[in-house]
Amino acid sequence: MRKICVIGVGYVGLVTGTCFADLGNQVTCVDIVADKIAKLKRGEMPIYEPGLEELVARNVAAKRLTFTTDYQAAVPGAEFIFIAVNTPPSTDGEADLQYVRMAAESISPVLSNYAIIVNKSTVPVGTGDAVAEILQERGKQAGVDFDIVSNPEFLSEGTAVYDFQQPDRVVLGAVNRDAADKVAQLYLPLRCTIMITDLRTAEMIKYASNAFLATRISFINEIATVCEKLGADVKEVAAGMGMDRRIGRAFLNAGAGYGGSCFPKDVKALTWMAEVNGCHPQLLRAVMEINRDMRRQVVAKLRGLLGNLRGKTIALWGLAFKPNTDDVREAASLDIIHVLQTEGAKIRAYDPVAVETARRVTKDVVFCADAYSTAAGADALVLITEWNEFKQLDMGRVAAALKQKILIDGRNIYEPERMRECGFTYRGIGRGY
């Protein structure tokens, strides 16, 4: 059993800490937001993540997992200290490291023994060196040694517990190979591939991975736009492409674009790092531009069918940036709502779990209790998030409830011919009509 401290109880920190506890370690999670810690102590989850609540409860009951706001209670005696705090984008795209610096500065005065400080947050290349500098002076004064290891996370919201327990790989970067080997020991029970490299390469692997996945999404969305002009079906195109083992099928689903806490900020941050170092990241810029365009295309489809949107009621299915999460950060829904409201439309919306998070960041939206009531009396229906619930509905009933039987399928989850049989005027993304 190893003693681990995890700083931050967001998606990454809470999943990481809980899963390490489930592997038999003694884990203390610390966060400066008292409300989050209070909820966790009451058994309430501050985030929605399938399977996490049960895992937290089991490990709290086994006394392997505890929560606190006190660094003094969490850091001394810890062998491994994982920094898993938020790194939001600034206005120019640079990752904001204020929470990483605050974490390092809070560790410094209470670090009483040799520990391995593990950067789990997604941080710009070179951050490991910066964290070391913050801790260095205190370490010299107190005679306490430490090592820095980069351990980028590859967790997807909605499948984060599974992703931790069944990883494709674990990436570790360090100056001191022995420190990386010690962190690798924590992951040995998972029987996964472990890659050990230097600090900056490990940090870059995270950004390059997310930028590539975002690029695949924007690529297929660009192809979708061309398909619409040429009368081809992008779903069939993607299926045909995916049969090529050099390409594969993952992340080739055309739609209203990517969102969430990772892809948007990581592509922006990598673009910023490239620009300030004299590079010309034209591909990354195109990825972001195409993503913005997909949201506009959804509104353009509505405008093409309804004309002037002022006074029209638009029903939205899905608010979260993807299924199985309540996260609405950089969600397509928010951009679409903003543009529709700017053009004078009225918005009714429903999401299985993300209504409360959306309510905090939107105004003048009528949130409904279910999918059917959302559609009732609306001039058009837009599907934005591909929740399984929306695939099982009685679409004939939905069509009958609409004022105008217009369906914009922003994720291509419906079959066009079937929707037409239900009476809809149907528009997908890149479906050739």
Q: How far apart are CA 160 and CA 50, in angstroms?
A: 8
Q: Please, what's the b/e burial string for 224-243 (b: 16 or more CB within 10 A of its CB; e: otherwise)?
A: bbebbeeebbbbebbeebee
Contacts of 171 (CB under 8 A, 6+ apart): 150, 151, 152, 154, 195, 197, 202, 205, 206
Which listed residue (262, 279, 368, 422) is catalytic? 262
> Per the structure block, which two tokens stand in for 290?
């195409």
Residue pair 111/144 in contact (Cβ under 8 Å)? The answer is: yes
Phi-psi bin for 64: left (phi > 0), alpha (psi -120 to 50), beta? alpha
Quote the CA–CA distance of 5 and 371 in Å, as a whole number: 42
DSSP 108-146: GGG--S-EEEEE-S---TTHHHHHHHHHHHHHHHHT--E
Would residue 262 show up in a list of annotated catalytic residues for this protein?
Answer: yes
CB 118 within 8 A of CB 103: no
Only one residue has tokens 């205190």, namely 138
CA distance 280 to 97: 24
Nearest-angstrom CA–CA distance, 225 and 216: 14
Q: Other C-beta atoms within 10 Å of 43: how many?
A: 11
Residue numbers annotated as active site: 262
